[in-house]
């Protein structure tokens, strides 16, 4: 890899945002450089300032931002550049690919329009030529029928297609440098993989200098040459991937690396002893969304129904952790909702032997024994209730009477999830994401359930926090012998924690497999493509 | 937008009018005034009254009266005014025409002023211009029509003598005079609209300017004007369509007052007179016509919206 | 609450709105005690007086002190408007939440009907109701309340629906909570805020509606010191003494502005995005 | 006109018949200019076109333009010939003979003969027609045509005022054919003998009439057209006149008058009149069945102040009788002065030592009713009478309160004769017996008077009647209104008629400087 003068060079750059409370430091003495054809991974957790750096490079800073240091593009000092110059540089010499193609594309303009306009603006093409060029670009980024795609509106394209269009736009003017801001985070595993491959291709082909921002060390390790780890606005460590990941010098880096889920590092040793009487048996459970056809017809609607789950059948032993993986819309959460009586279902559930044919059959005992934890604690904790009330409810309902008021009991619950007792008086918005999720967990365990359904409970958390929460879950499982239905899209994570894995695809349960056998090679095609898509776990 | 959707919306209009007709008829049934007395006046003798009641079918049970009335309405026959003895339908339709003319001018004026104001306020957000616009709009929405109308008359008609105070002249009769007579009413009704809509446009645009795709457009190096006019406005103005339609309801309300003050013989004035003189058929027909106007306005708005907004699949 | 207040005071609208509305409420409470004269006594020799030291805002056609009438009228006007809006809000909230809770076809039916009712302009609705009930401030109050109901029902429903979708409600259901608890403890607290905002803004509208009804002779009746009535009465004396119409008009506008500002201020304060 | 006997009376009327050709005109001036379009504004819609059913002044105005009566009222409230060229009566005043003009035709070209007159009066007297004229044209028992041009009225009681009462606003002659076919036809079109023909009729907006070239008077009318435009808002109406948009305002509220007078090129018109507001007591219901209570209320009123408050000074104090100086047989009595002590005493005597509460109902049109009510409310306070004013729409008022209520405000135009107003409101058999006072003595005076020709005797009888009302207060009549109107100075020959319901626009002409209108 040639190490000529870097295309993008940031040196001693600091940035402060103006807030009502005064200035807060976002970036602190950041220095890095990216050479032609090089991919620098910028790794950090939320709030670390990685995106701020991107905005700084793009010269897209809020009014009242205070900065010092230098940012130069091929020797051109950007911090000093005039607005006109910046306009000429943006999109022409520096491209950017955004996190969520769903929101970064204008819903009322055709994809072609949004691609062509850049060409018109920066390469002075006529609309007609721009359009033709655009089609070529789309073909290049691997879109079948580019002509048709040009004419589509964002809502008519899939997430992957949209992201391809965004990438095409970024590369459209052959910029010297492109910033990628978590370009695959909003996508499904397999789509993400394809985007990453596309990225790699284009990268080799154009030799552009890329800054690849991500929280996912696995991804970074797979696409970048060098990595910079950013923490609280500071670059704590920087160097070639191999070196940094193999022998991290900074404690934070070490912590991060340790936190990354790795299938080879099982966090759960116990194996549930196979017993005759299963804890939970799901028998041909189907969930149908949408209104009844006849009314739909009445209202002149085409049949709006679709199937969320199609005849799912599986069984769980007491104390077992059953992982459920699948991309969004595969029906993971639907199953969870059916099992907790949040959505009517067809078929039969047997819990501890007791048959349950519908929500009506979910009696107090069942409610007590089956608890659910949701993905996003911000919405699963009532913002207008204090932690105390949130935790006291299950106690009221399922503990012996009057325990809801019992301070000690609540303190106990908090202690169980390693939160200080005085959190009882706080409101959710006074807690961090991880703390909120812990409260949610505490609430779930308040009724000593036998089965807890974890619906993507770590996906909104940072790696380090996720690790801690997982550890906590495992610990609780040891203590109470609770069974988990662990729903996630993170294959690595689930391979770490689950005993068996159920793979779902478009509402079907395509495969139910023992974790051990997974490495040996899955049988179902989809499972295999899923496994293939997951970025290779970090080398130890 | 599928034809099924259109049909559904039309069906809804039907339902709307049905409900309205029920409400209106119910209200007029309980009004504290004897229709027959209204018709004959204070000198009517008992037997005369009785005769009229039979003639009007007021002796029949209410539901039957409703049925008859509804059938009549469906055939375009709104009955005969109890004040003038004239058939209600044609009179009101003509009146509606005048009101719609007023409303049309008001909406045009509103669009010409409100949208630019809103845009300026939004892009100059927090600056003096923004403040100015929002202050004026706050005042605008907070002054009842009858007050603004009075002040306008006082200043423009009495002191400056630029415009005729009130009165209505059909454009067909004398175009120039007709227009002059329309200025003050149009101004009065549009004030609140302008104020309201400009605020809406502003806040919508401000929201849009905060979206990712606008940021993306900026970071693609597009010129500020391209970002504003090509990317932002389109999305900001879409919701305004619906708002304008909803304002039509308010407009119709305002029209009542304005027509009363400016002696503009539109539907609103007809209604006031009808209400004051307990002219039941006119009240019923008037209210029904107003409601349908509103319903249709919203229908059209929805259609336009569905047509313009590519995102929503109307099926 | 204190937090909310702080946020309100941060935005100019919020601050000004609070100030104006606060002032109005003070007048509503202590107005009558501040009034220098009896708002009803005629003074034959003091008619149509312009503002002076004796009569700060001048006198009206019967030689009544306008300031005193405004002060007494604050109650008739502001309080009425607030109560009317509250009434409409309450009824609307009830219908809205019920509709949202029932969901499905009953929800559809209710909402279609609400839409239908909404297609009658609120002023017309109020007019009809007042003519039906007979004209008086109280009936005007009822009328406005009723006229507001459908709109509020719509708002409440949409808010309730979004709340209904929140996971903490799902959690409560999964926990096997009773419907009562879910509606009252989990949903309501979160529904209230946006509805309060809507209501505040409606108060401004109510003040104007009241004035308009009185202007059309269907609201408060003489000799009540209701502001709208004062305006409509003084229109006829506009040329004898402009003051008579100026003051009550100003008062109405001020209240309306106050509540509009307060409403927007509240909205911003309650909205995390800003 | 003291010592007035019948011979003289007949002579006068005959003479008047002759006079009719050169118009009665206030400012004797050169021959009025012909042509032009007059735009006159009125404050209420012209809802009813049928002359037999008209009820409000704008409607009377239109009816008067389109139709003729047998006689019409001059500004001095005496009768002048209209369709009738002359008239006479038998000594006992029981039979009246009217001789019609010849060659008068209706707007549809058909001749207007005695048959039409008879048919019209029969229609008027028919209860089913429900014409206000029924109770106001006098005690007519029978109408018959002696020949094509002679109509004979047979009365049920001696009646001296027939030529005047027969000029009643609703007593307009319509074609017999139309009556036969059904009067409904007159709701939309006008077939009269009046000086103008109907061009267009839009109740809420305007009525346009054009000169009737076949009018019996070759000289009049002078105007080509008259546009009667409706202005519901008086302020706006005033502004329209000032801006020259209109030429005349039929009725100006006191509050506008001062401003209009000041305006350049505008002339304010004012005439004292018998138009009044009365506060009616239900003399058959508690508490007002007790005369002392009624007197007490009457004693609280400062009538001079009332004139100020209610009429802005454009009026005269009333004395609780419907007659004032504008009436021929007005009997001057000491004006009642406020006397709170006495009032309280009377109340106490009547059994209300600590005053009483009453609800005073006032309809919202015209506004002055409410004004009066509110003013009264303040004036009675010191006497411990607590009035709660309740206003309601006119329609509701007519339906629920009028002639039934126990305490409400009425409003009346001046009538042509003392008898007319008494018989309209206060006799036991009054058309609109608002007070149910039903005082035999009063009835006797009035009935006797109407059959008396001797002016002095008659005057005496009416004086008695007025004394009685003054004492017993069946209704309080605190103020009489001056009639107010306004016109541009290019309008000539218009004289404000105290009757309020009579306009005589056929005498009006436009000066050369009047704006040309289409």
Last residue in a domain, options A157, A172, A187: A172
Neighbours of chain D (3+ CB pairs under 8 A): B, C
Sheet holding D95-100, edge to edge: D84-89, D95-100, D150-155, D140-147
Q: Does A121 touch chain B (CB under 8 A)?
A: yes
For residue D270, pLDDT over 80 is answered with: yes
Residues A373 and A500 in one domain: yes
DSSP state of A105: S
Set of chain D residues whose Cβ sits within 8 Å of the Cβ of B32: 396, 399-400
Residues B127 and B237 in one domain: yes
Residues A286 and A163 in one domain: no
Residues D380 and D453 in one domain: yes
pLDDT digits (tens, 9 = 90+) for A221-250: 888 999 999 999 999 999 999 899 888 999
D481, D504 Cβ separation under 8 angstroms: no
Q: Which pLDDT value is given to residue A128?
A: 92
Query: Could you tell me which chain B residue has the CA closest to the CA of D238?
Result: B165
Q: Does A173 touch chain C (CB under 8 A)?
A: no
Last residue in a domain, options B74, B104, B134: B74
Q: Which pLDDT value is given to residue B315?
A: 36
Q: What domain range includes position D431?
A: 6-14+273-481
Residue A432: closest CA among A481, A392, A486, A381 = A381
From residue A133, alpha-carbon distances to A107, A199, B293 in Å are 22, 20, 50
Q: Find the Cα–Cα–Cα–Cα dihedral D491, D495, D501, D503, rounded to 10°.
A: -50
Q: Which pLDDT value is given to residue D17?
A: 40
For residue A293, pLDDT over 60 is answered with: no
Set of chain C residues whose Cβ sits within 8 Å of the Cβ of B9: none
For residue D407, pLDDT over 60 is answered with: yes
Residues B33 and B140 in one domain: no
Tell me, yes or no, whether A371 lies in a domain: yes
Q: Which pLDDT value is given to residue C193?
A: 82
Set of chain A residues whose Cβ sits within 8 Å of the Cβ of C176: 362, 364, 367-368, 397
Pairing of β D37-42 and β D225-230: parallel
Q: pTM for the complete prediction?
A: 0.81
CB pairs under 8 A between B and C: 123
Residues B54 and B112 in one domain: no
Q: Which pLDDT value is given to residue A135?
A: 93
Taking the C-alpha atoms of residue A411 and residue A419, their distance in angstroms, rounded to an integer, is 9
DSSP state of D105: B
Mean local confidence (pLDDT), A401-425 = 84
A133, B242 Cβ separation under 8 angstroms: no
For testing contact with chain A, the best of B216, B232, B234 (most A CBs within 10 A):
B216
Residues D324 and D456 in one domain: yes
Tell me, yes or no, whether D242 lies in a domain: no
Q: What domain range includes position A165?
A: 101-172
* Cis peptide bond N-terminal to D287, omega within 30: yes
Q: Which residue has the tokens 């007050």?
A: B147
Last residue in a domain, options A172, A196, A217: A172
Residues D10 and D73 in one domain: no
Q: Does B135 touch chain C (CB under 8 A)?
A: no
Mean local confidence (pLDDT), C36-42 = 87
A119 backbone dihedrals φ, ψ, rounded to 5°: -65, -40
Residues D320 and D466 in one domain: yes
Sequence ranges of the domains in chain C: 12-33+54-270
Of B33, B86, B167, the CB nearest to D229: B167
Query: Could you tell me which chain C residue has the CA closest to the CA of A339?
Result: C174
Tell me, yes or no, whether A167 lies in a domain: yes
Taking the C-alpha atoms of residue A187 and residue A219, their distance in angstroms, rounded to an integer, is 13
For residue D398, pLDDT over 60 is answered with: yes
Q: Which residue has the tokens 């789509």?
A: A191
H-run or E-run covering D462 = helix D455-472
Residue C273: pLDDT band (50, 70, 90) is: very low
Tell me, yes or no, whether A315 lies in a domain: yes
For residue A296, pLDDT over 70 is answered with: no
The CATH superfamily label for domain C12-33+54-270 reads MetI-like (1.10.3720.10)
> Which CATH number characterizes residue D91's domain?
3.90.76.10
Last residue in a domain, options D161, D182, D203: D182
Residue A339: closest CA among A365, A372, A311, A364 = A372
Residues D412 and D288 in one domain: yes
pLDDT digits (tens, 9 = 90+) for B55-96: 777 777 888 888 888 888 888 888 888 777 778 888 888 889
Residue D9: exposure state from Cβ atoms within 10 A (0-12, 13-18, ≥19): middle
Tell me, yes or no, whether B21 lies in a domain: yes
Tell me, yes or no, whether A4 lies in a domain: no
- Cα torsion D337, D340, D346, D352: sign: positive
Set of chain D residues whose Cβ sits within 8 Å of the Cβ of B51: 128
From residue C167, alpha-carbon distances to A308, B133, C93 in Å are 19, 41, 22
Residue C235: closest CA among B269, A427, A226, B144 = B144
Residues B124 and B231 in one domain: yes
Q: Which pLDDT value is given to residue A93?
A: 92
pLDDT digits (tens, 9 = 90+) for C172-215: 988 888 888 888 888 888 888 888 888 988 898 898 888 888 88
Tell me, yes or no, whether B315 lies in a domain: no
Orientation angle between helical segments C227-235 and C188-215, nearest 10 degrees: 20
Domain count for chain D, please give it: 2
Tell me, yes or no, whether D267 lies in a domain: no
DSSP D194-250: SSEEEEEEETTTEEEEEE-TT-S-SS----SEEEEEE-S-HHHHHHHHHTTS-SEES
DSSP state of C44: G
To the nearest whole percent, how much of chain C has pLDDT over 70?
Answer: 98
Q: Which residue has the tokens 């060390």?
A: A217
Q: Which pLDDT value is given to residue D409?
A: 95
Tokens of B51: 């005769």
Query: Could you tell me which chain D residue has the CA closest to the CA of C131?
Result: D393
Last residue in a domain, options B39, B74, B109: B74
For testing contact with chain D, the best of B36, B43, B258, B262 (most D CBs within 10 A):
B43
Mean local confidence (pLDDT), D277-306 = 93
- In 3-state terms, what secondary structure has residue A493? helix
Set of chain A residues whose Cβ sits within 8 Å of the Cβ of B315: 301-302, 304
**Chain A nearest C-alpha distance from C181 (Å):** 10
Residue B188: pLDDT band (50, 70, 90) is: very high
> Has the ipTM of the complex gone over 0.90?
no
Mean local confidence (pLDDT), C220-234 = 86
Q: Which pLDDT value is given to residue B170?
A: 82
Taking the C-alpha atoms of residue B302 and residue B93, their distance in angstroms, rounded to an integer, is 25
- In 3-state terms, what secondary structure has residue D52? coil
**Chain C nearest C-alpha distance from A491 (Å):** 25
Tell me, yes or no, whether B24 lies in a domain: yes
Mean local confidence (pLDDT), D310-329 = 92
Pairing of β D385-392 and β D407-412: unpaired
Residue A276: pLDDT band (50, 70, 90) is: low
For residue B161, pLDDT over 70 is answered with: yes
To the nearest whole percent, how much of chain D has pLDDT over 70?
Answer: 94
Q: Which pLDDT value is given to residue D237?
A: 87
Domain count for chain B, please give it: 2
Q: Which pLDDT value is given to residue D15?
A: 39
Residues D10 and D71 in one domain: no
> Which CATH number characterizes residue D390's domain?
3.10.105.10
pLDDT digits (tens, 9 = 90+) for A335-371: 999 999 888 888 999 998 889 988 888 888 899 999 9
Q: Which pLDDT value is given to residue A175?
A: 92
Residues A441 and A320 in one domain: yes
Between chains, do B277 and D47 touch, taking CB under 8 Å as contact?
yes
For testing contact with chain C, the best of D392, D394, D401 (most C CBs within 10 A):
D392
For residue C271, pLDDT over 80 is answered with: no
B233, A106 Cβ separation under 8 angstroms: no
Q: Which pLDDT value is given to residue A167?
A: 93
Query: Could you tell me which chain B residue has the CA closest to the CA of D131?
Result: B43
DSSP state of A70: E
Residue D197: pLDDT band (50, 70, 90) is: very high
Residue B234: exposure state from Cβ atoms within 10 A (0-12, 13-18, ≥19): middle
Q: Does C167 touch chain A (CB under 8 A)?
A: yes
Residues D297 and D423 in one domain: yes
Output the average pLDDT for chain D: 88
Residues B24 and B123 in one domain: no
Of A20, A291, A379, the CB nearest to C168: A379
Residues A506 and A370 in one domain: yes
Q: Which pLDDT value is given to residue B40?
A: 63
pLDDT digits (tens, 9 = 90+) for D72-94: 999 988 999 999 999 999 999 99
From residue D338, alpha-carbon distances to C174, C240, D93, D344, D390 in Å are 81, 29, 43, 11, 24
Q: Which pLDDT value is given to residue D250?
A: 94
Reported as half-sphere exposure (CB side, CA atoms, 13 A), residue B18 has a value of 9
Residues D10 and D105 in one domain: no
* Cis peptide bond N-terminal to C223, omega within 30: yes
Taking the C-alpha atoms of residue D397 and residue D362, their distance in angstroms, rounded to an integer, is 8
pLDDT digits (tens, 9 = 90+) for A92-131: 999 999 888 888 999 888 999 999 999 999 988 999 999 9
CB pairs under 8 A between B and D: 124
Q: Which residue has the tokens 């002040």?
A: B151
Residues B151 and B277 in one domain: yes
Mean local confidence (pLDDT), B261-273 = 86
Q: Find the Cα–Cα–Cα–Cα dihedral D200, D202, D203, D204, rounded to 10°.
A: -140
Cβ neighbours for B214, distance < 8 A, ≥ 6 positions apart: A106, B208, B227, B231, B232
For residue B113, pLDDT over 50 is answered with: yes
Taking the C-alpha atoms of residue A125 and residue A122, their distance in angstroms, rounded to an integer, is 8
Q: Which pLDDT value is given to residue D12?
A: 40
Between chains, do C211 and B260 touch, taking CB under 8 Å as contact?
no
Set of chain C residues whose Cβ sits within 8 Å of the Cβ of A456: none
Last residue in a domain, options A120, A149, A172: A172
Chains D and A touch (3+ CB pairs under 8 A): no
Q: Cα angle at A381 between C14 and A358, to 5 degrees?
A: 130
Taking the C-alpha atoms of residue B228 and residue A205, their distance in angstroms, rounded to an integer, is 35
End-to-end C-alpha distance for chain D, whole angstroms: 47
Q: Which pLDDT value is given to residue D244?
A: 86
Q: What domain range includes position B38?
A: 3-74
Residue D105: pLDDT band (50, 70, 90) is: very high
Set of chain B residues whose Cβ sits within 8 Å of the Cβ of C212: 144-146, 257
pLDDT digits (tens, 9 = 90+) for A482-534: 999 999 988 888 888 899 999 999 889 998 888 888 777 667 888 888 888 88
Residue A321: pLDDT band (50, 70, 90) is: very high
Set of chain A residues whose Cβ sits within 8 Å of the Cβ of B230: 109, 117
D302, D479 Cβ separation under 8 angstroms: no
Set of chain B residues whose Cβ sits within 8 Å of the Cβ of A89: 221
**Chain B nearest C-alpha distance from A55 (Å):** 9
A94 backbone dihedrals φ, ψ, rounded to 5°: -120, 120
Q: Cα angle at A523 between A517 and A524, to 5 degrees?
A: 130
D312, D257 Cβ separation under 8 angstroms: yes
Residues D287 and D402 in one domain: yes
Q: Does C184 touch chain A (CB under 8 A)?
A: no
Cβ neighbours for A520, distance < 8 A, ≥ 6 positions apart: none
Tell me, yes or no, whether B83 lies in a domain: no
Between chains, do D130 and B34 touch, taking CB under 8 Å as contact?
no
> Which CATH number characterizes residue A322's domain?
3.40.50.300
Tokens of C43: 């003074």
**Chain B nearest C-alpha distance from D341 (Å):** 40
For residue D19, pLDDT over 80 is answered with: no
For residue C103, pLDDT over 80 is answered with: no
Domain count for chain A, please give it: 2
D255, C60 Cβ separation under 8 angstroms: no
Q: Find the Cα–Cα–Cα–Cα dihedral D53, D56, D59, D63, rounded to 10°.
A: 60
For residue A205, pLDDT over 50 is answered with: yes
Q: Which pLDDT value is given to residue D175?
A: 95
Q: How many CB atoms lie within 10 A of CB D474?
A: 27
Residue D129: closest CA among B35, B85, B43, B36 = B43
Residue D304: pLDDT band (50, 70, 90) is: very high
Q: Find the Cα–Cα–Cα–Cα dihedral D157, D158, D162, D168, rounded to 10°.
A: -30
Residue D140: closest CA among D116, D115, D162 = D162
For residue A133, pLDDT over 50 is answered with: yes
Residues A168 and A295 in one domain: no
């Amino acid at each position: 890899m040639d190490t000529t003068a870097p295309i993008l060079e940031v040196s001693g750059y600091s940035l402060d945002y103006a807030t009502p409370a005064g200035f807060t430091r976002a970036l602190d003495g950041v220095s890095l450089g990216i050479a032609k054809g090089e991919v620098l991974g910028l790794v950090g957790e939320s709030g670390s300032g990685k995106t701020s750096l991107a905005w700084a490079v793009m010269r897209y800073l809020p009014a009242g931002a205070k900065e010092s240091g230098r940012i130069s593009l091929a020797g051109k000092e950007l911090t000093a550049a005039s607005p006109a110059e910046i306009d000429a540089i943006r999109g022409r010499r520096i491209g950017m690919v955004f996190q969520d193609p769903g929101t970064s594309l204008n819903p009322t303009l055709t994809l072609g329009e949004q691609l062509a306009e850049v060409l018109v603006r920066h390469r002075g093409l006529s609309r007609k030529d721009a359009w033709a060029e655009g089609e070529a670009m789309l073909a290049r980024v691997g879109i079948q029928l580019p002509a048709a795609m040009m004419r589509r509106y964002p809502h008519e394209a899939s997430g992957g297609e949209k992201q391809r269009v965004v990438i095409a736009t970024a590369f459209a003017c052959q910029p010297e440098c492109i910033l990628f801001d978590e370009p695959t985070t909003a996508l499904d595993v397999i789509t993400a993989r394809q985007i990453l491959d596309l990225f790699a291709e284009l990268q080799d082909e154009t030799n552009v200098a890329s800054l690849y921002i991500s929280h996912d060390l696995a991804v970074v390790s797979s696409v970048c040459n060098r990595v910079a780890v950013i923490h609280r606005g500071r670059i704590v460590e920087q160097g070639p991937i191999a070196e940094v990941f193999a022998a991290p010098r900074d404690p934070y880096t070490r912590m991060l690396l340790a936190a990354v889920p790795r299938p080879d590092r099982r966090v759960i040793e116990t194996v549930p002893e196979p017993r005759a009487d299963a804890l939970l048996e799901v028998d041909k459970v189907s969930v149908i969304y949408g209104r009844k056809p006849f009314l739909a017809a009445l209202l002149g609607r085409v049949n709006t129904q679709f199937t969320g789950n199609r005849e799912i059948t599986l069984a769980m032993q007491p104390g077992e952790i059953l992982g459920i993986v699948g991309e969004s819309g595969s029906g993971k959460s639907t199953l969870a909702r059916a099992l907790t009586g949040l959505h009517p279902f067809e078929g039969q559930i047997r819990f501890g032997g007791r048959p349950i044919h519908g929500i009506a059959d979910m009696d107090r005992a069942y409610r007590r024994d089956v608890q659910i934890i949701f993905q996003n604690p911000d919405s699963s904790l009532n913002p207008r209730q204090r932690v105390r009330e949130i935790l006291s409810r299950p106690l009221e309902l399922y503990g012996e009477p009057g325990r809801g008021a019992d301070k000690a009991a609540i303190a106990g619950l908090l202690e169980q999830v390693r939160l200080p007792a005085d959190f009882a008086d706080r409101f959710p918005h006074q807690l961090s994401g991880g703390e909120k999720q812990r409260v949610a967990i505490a609430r779930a365990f308040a009724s000593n359930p036998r089965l807890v359904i974890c619906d993507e409970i770590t996906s909104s958390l940072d790696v380090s926090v996720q690790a801690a929460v997982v550890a906590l879950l495992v610990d609780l499982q040891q203590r109470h012998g609770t069974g988990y239905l662990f729903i996630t899209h993170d294959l690595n994570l689930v391979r770490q924690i689950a005993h068996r894995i159920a793979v779902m695809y478009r509402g079907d349960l395509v495969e139910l497999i023992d974790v051990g056998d997974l490495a040996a090679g899955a049988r179902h095609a989809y499972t295999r493509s899923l496994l293939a898509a997951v970025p290779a776990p970090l080398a130890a | 937008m599928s034809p099924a959707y259109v049909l559904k919306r039309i069906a809804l209009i039907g339902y709307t009018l049905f409900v309205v007709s029920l409400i209106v008829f119910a209200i007029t049934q309980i009004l504290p005034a004897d229709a027959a007395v209204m018709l004959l006046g204070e000198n009517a003798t008992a037997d005369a009254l009785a005769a009229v009641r039979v003639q009007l079918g007021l002796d029949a049970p209410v539901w039957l009266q409703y049925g008859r009335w509804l059938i009549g309405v469906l055939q375009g026959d709104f009955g005969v005014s109890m004040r003038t003895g004239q058939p209600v339908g044609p009179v009101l339709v003509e009146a509606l025409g005048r009101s719609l003319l007023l409303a049309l001018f008001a909406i045009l004026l509103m669009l010409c002023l409100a949208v630019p104001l809103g845009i300026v306020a939004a892009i100059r957000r927090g600056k003096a211009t923004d403040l100015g616009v929002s202050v004026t709009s706050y005042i605008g929405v907070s002054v009842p029509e009858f007050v603004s109308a009075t002040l306008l008359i006082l200043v423009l008609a009495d002191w400056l003598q630029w415009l005729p105070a009130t009165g209505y002249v059909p454009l067909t009769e004398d175009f120039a005079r007709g227009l002059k007579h329309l200025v003050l009413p149009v101004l009065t009704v549009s004030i609140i609209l302008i104020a309201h809509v400009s605020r809406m446009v502003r806040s919508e645009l401000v929201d849009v300017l905060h979206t990712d795709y606008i940021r993306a457009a900026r970071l693609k190096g597009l010129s500020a004007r391209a970002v504003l006019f090509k990317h932002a406005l389109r999305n900001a103005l879409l919701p305004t369509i619906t708002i304008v339609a909803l304002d039509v309801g308010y407009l119709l309300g305002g029209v009542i007052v304005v027509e009363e003050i400016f002696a503009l013989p539109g539907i609103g004035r007809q209604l006031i007179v009808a209400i004051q003189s307990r002219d039941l058929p006119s009240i019923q027909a008037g209210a029904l016509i107003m409601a349908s106007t509103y319903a249709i306005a919203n229908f059209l708005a929805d259609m336009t919206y569905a047509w313009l907004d590519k995102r929503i699949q109307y099926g | 609450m204190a937090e909310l207040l702080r946020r309100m005071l941060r935005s100019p609208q919020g601050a000004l709105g609070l100030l104006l509305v606060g002032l109005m409420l003070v007048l509503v409470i202590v107005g009558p005690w501040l009034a220098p004269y009896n708002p009803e006594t005629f003074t034959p020799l003091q008619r149509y007086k312009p503002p002076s030291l004796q009569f700060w805002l001048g006198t009206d056609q019967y030689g009544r002190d306008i300031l005193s009438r405004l002060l007494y009228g604050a109650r008739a006007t502001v309080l009425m408007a607030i109560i009317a809006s509250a009434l409409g809000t309450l009824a609307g909230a009830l219908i809205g939440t019920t509709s949202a809770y029932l969901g499905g076809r009953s929800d559809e039916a209710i909402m279609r009907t609400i839409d239908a009712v909404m297609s009658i302009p609120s002023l017309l609705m109020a007019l009809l109701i007042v003519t039906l009930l007979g004209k008086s401030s109280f009936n005007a109050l009822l009328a406005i309340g009723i006229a507001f109901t459908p709109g509020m029902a719509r708002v409440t429903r949409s808010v309730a629906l979004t709340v209904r979708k929140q996971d903490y409600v799902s959690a409560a259901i999964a926990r096997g909570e009773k419907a009562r608890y879910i509606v009252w403890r989990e949903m309501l607290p979160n529904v209230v805020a946006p509805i309060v905002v809507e209501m505040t803004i409606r108060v401004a509208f109510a003040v104007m509606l009241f004035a308009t009804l009185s202007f059309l002779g269907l609201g408060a009746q003489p000799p009540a010191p209701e502001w709208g009535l004062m305006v409509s009465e003084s229109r006829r004396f506009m040329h004898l003494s402009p003051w008579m119409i100026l003051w009550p008009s100003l008062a109405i506008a001020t209240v309306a502005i106050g509540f509009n500002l307060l409403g927007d201020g509240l909205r911003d304060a309650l909205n995390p995005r800003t | 006109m003291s010592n007035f006997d019948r011979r003289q009376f007949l002579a006068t009327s005959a003479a008047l018949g002759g006079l009719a050709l050169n118009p009665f005109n206030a400012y004797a001036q050169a021959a009025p200019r012909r042509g032009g379009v007059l735009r006159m504004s009125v404050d209420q819609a012209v809802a009813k076109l049928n002359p037999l059913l008209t009820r409000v002044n704008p409607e009377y105005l239109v009816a008067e333009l389109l139709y003729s009566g047998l006689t019409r009222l001059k500004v001095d409230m005496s009768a002048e010939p209209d369709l009738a060229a002359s008239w006479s009566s038998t000594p006992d005043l029981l039979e009246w003979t009217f001789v019609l003009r010849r060659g008068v035709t209706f707007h549809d070209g058909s001749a207007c003969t005695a048959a039409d007159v008879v048919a019209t009066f029969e229609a008027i007297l028919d209860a089913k027609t429900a014409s206000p004229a029924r109770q106001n044209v006098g005690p007519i028992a029978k109408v018959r045509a002696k020949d094509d041009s002679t109509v004979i009225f047979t009365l049920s009681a001696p009646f001296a005022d027939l030529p005047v009462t027969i000029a009643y606003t609703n007593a307009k002659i319509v074609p017999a054919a139309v009556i036969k076919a059904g009067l409904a036809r007159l709701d939309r079109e006008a077939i009269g003998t009046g000086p103008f023909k109907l061009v267009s009729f839009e109740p809420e907006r305007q009525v346009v009439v054009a000169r009737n070239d076949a009018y019996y008077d070759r000289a009049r009318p002078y105007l080509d057209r008259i546009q009667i435009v409706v202005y519901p808002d008086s302020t706006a109406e005033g502004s329209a006149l000032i801006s020259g948009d209109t030429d005349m305002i039929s009725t100006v509220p006191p509050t506008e008058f001062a401003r209009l007078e000041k305006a350049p090129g505008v002339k304010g018109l004012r005439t004292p009149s018998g138009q009044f507001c009365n506060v009616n007591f239900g003399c058959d219901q508690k508490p007002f069945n007790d005369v002392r209570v009624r007197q007490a209320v009457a004693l609280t009123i400062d009538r001079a102040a009332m004139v100020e408050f209610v009429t802005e000074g454009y009026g005269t104090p009333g004395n609780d009788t419907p007659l004032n100086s504008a009436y021929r047989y007005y009997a001057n009595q000491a004006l009642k002065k406020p006397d709170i002590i006495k009032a309280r005493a009377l109340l106490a005597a009547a059994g209300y030592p600590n005053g009483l509460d009453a609800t005073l109902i006032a309809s919202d049109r015209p506004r002055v009713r409410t004004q009066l009510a509110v003013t009264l409310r303040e004036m009675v306070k010191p006497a411990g009478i607590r009035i709660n004013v309740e206003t309601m729409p006119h329609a509701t008022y007519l339906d629920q309160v009028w002639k039934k209520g126990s305490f409400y405000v009425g409003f009346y135009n001046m009538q042509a004769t003392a008898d007319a107003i008494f018989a309209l409101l206060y006799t036991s058999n009054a058309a609109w017996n608002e007070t149910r006072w039903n005082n035999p003595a009063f009835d006797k005076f009035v009935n006797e008077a109407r059959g008396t020709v001797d002016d002095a005797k008659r005057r005496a009888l009416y004086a008695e009647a007025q004394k009685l009302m003054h004492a017993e207060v069946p209704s309080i009549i605190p103020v009489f209104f001056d009639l107010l109107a306004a016109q541009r100075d290019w309008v000539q020959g218009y004289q404000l008629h105290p009757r309020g319901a009579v306009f005589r626009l056929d005498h009006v002409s436009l000066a050369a400087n009047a704006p040309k209108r289409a």
